[in-house]
Structure 1
Amino acid sequence: MTAVREVVAAVQDPELPVVTIEQLGILRDVRVDDDGAVTVDITPTYSGCPAMDAIRADIVAALAENGVDDVDVRTVLAPAWSTDWITPDGRAALADAGIAPPHPAGTVALTLTVRCPHCGSPDTRELSRFGSTACKALWVCRSCQEPFDHVKAL
């Protein structure tokens, strides 16, 4: 069971390939029944996420590479995914890749500014509410002039 979960947990998110589906918090559960059939529960970052088909296929392929062919990947919508589910390692990986992670749980949801993941400056501004994917916004740093994605808090 542990090995199966590790295989699934290592699947990268296709839109944010610097994090795994476990680090992103969309991997909910992995179960192996007595016959060896595997059921994987995943939750999309939002209900219309176009990456879910790719994630499902990547999970099936990763398990097939490890000798598991009886796989059912289920989409679980409740409770809805939250950016609070991103692991500390996931937040660090996003920042290391130049993507500003959302504020951690317990902070005020109002975003006046986002720290630049390149230079750390709080002197940033949102260029577009819509970034390279629907779950990110495009920001720019006034200090170093670098643009960057910011994962929207949900």
Structure 2
Amino acid sequence: MLTESQAWQVLGDVPDPEIPVVSVVELGIVREVASRAGGLRVVVTPTYSGCPATEVIADSIRAALAAAGAGAVDIETRLDPAWTTDWMGDAARDKLRAYGIAPPSGTAAAGGVQPIRFVAKSQTCPHCGSTDTERLSEFGSTACKALYRCRACREPFEYFKPI
């Protein structure tokens, strides 16, 4: 049987299926690990309630913990509170940038109130560092990202939206 601390270490090596340079722990998807009779209970909060990778994430978590000797693993999906990019650490943001995805800037809305912005803020290009960028699409390869292009180096990139 694994301890909760050992389980967290194992989960720290489980990559996010859509962004494999960060783990499910680094993204803040894993909310809780608790010992129970015969195994573990893991609470996860997907980045979006309709995230298409939710089942893959649960299967990956279950397989990694089982391979490490955790016994039975129950996965609980918890949607409240909703996941926020505030749950990501600086290391995860650095890994996203190095991978070519602009990490989220700012923080999520406090108390569900999002300020009104009349001018879209440009994002910093993860390739060259320029802020002379333009949004091409509100959605990238997944709903949690937007598609941008850098006007300086002309490279497209995705921006992980703060939510």
Q: Same fold (TM over 0.5)?
A: yes
> Aligned match of 1:14 in 12, 17, 20?
17
TM score, norm. by length of structure 1: 0.93
Deviations 1:32-72 (A, max 9, x none): 12x34100000011110011100000001101111223000
* Contact kept in structure 2, 1:9 and 1:27, CA below 8 Å: no
Question: SS state of the match for residue 72, structure 1?
Answer: strand
Post-superposition CA distance 1:96-144 (Å, at most 9, x none): 1010001133899654100000100000001111111111111000000
Aligned residue type for 2:121:
L
TM-aligned CA distance change 1:6 to 1:82, over 3 Å: same
Identity %: 48
Distance 2:11 2:21 in 1: 16
1:83-94 equivalent positions in 2, closer than 5 A: 83-94=85-96
Greater than 3 Å deviation, 4+ residue runs: 106-111
Taking structure 2 as the reference length, the TM-score comes to 0.88
* One-letter amino acid of the counterpart of residue 56, structure 2: A
Name whichever of 114-123 and 96-105 sits farther off. 96-105
Q: Which residue of 1 aligns with 2:83?
A: 81
**1:127 aligned partner, one-letter code:** L
After TM superposition, list the pairs within 5 Å mapping 1:59-74 onto structure 2: 59-74=61-76
In the other structure, the counterpart of 2:128 is: 119
The answer to whether 1:145 aligns with 2:154 is: yes
Q: How many residues align?
A: 153
**Contiguous gaps of at least 5 residues in structure 2:** none
Change (3 A) 1:99 1:72: same
User: Which has the higher mean CA deviation after the structures are superposed, 59-68 or 135-144?
Assistant: 59-68
The one-letter amino acid paired with 1:119 is C
Q: Aligned equivalents of 2:24 and 2:108: distance in 1?
A: 23
2:29 corresponds to 1:26? yes
1:55 counterpart residue number: 57
The offset of 1:28, in angstroms, is 0.1
Could you say what the CA RMSD is over the residues aligned between the two structures, in angstroms? 1.7
Contact kept? 2:124, 2:131, Cα under 8 Å: yes
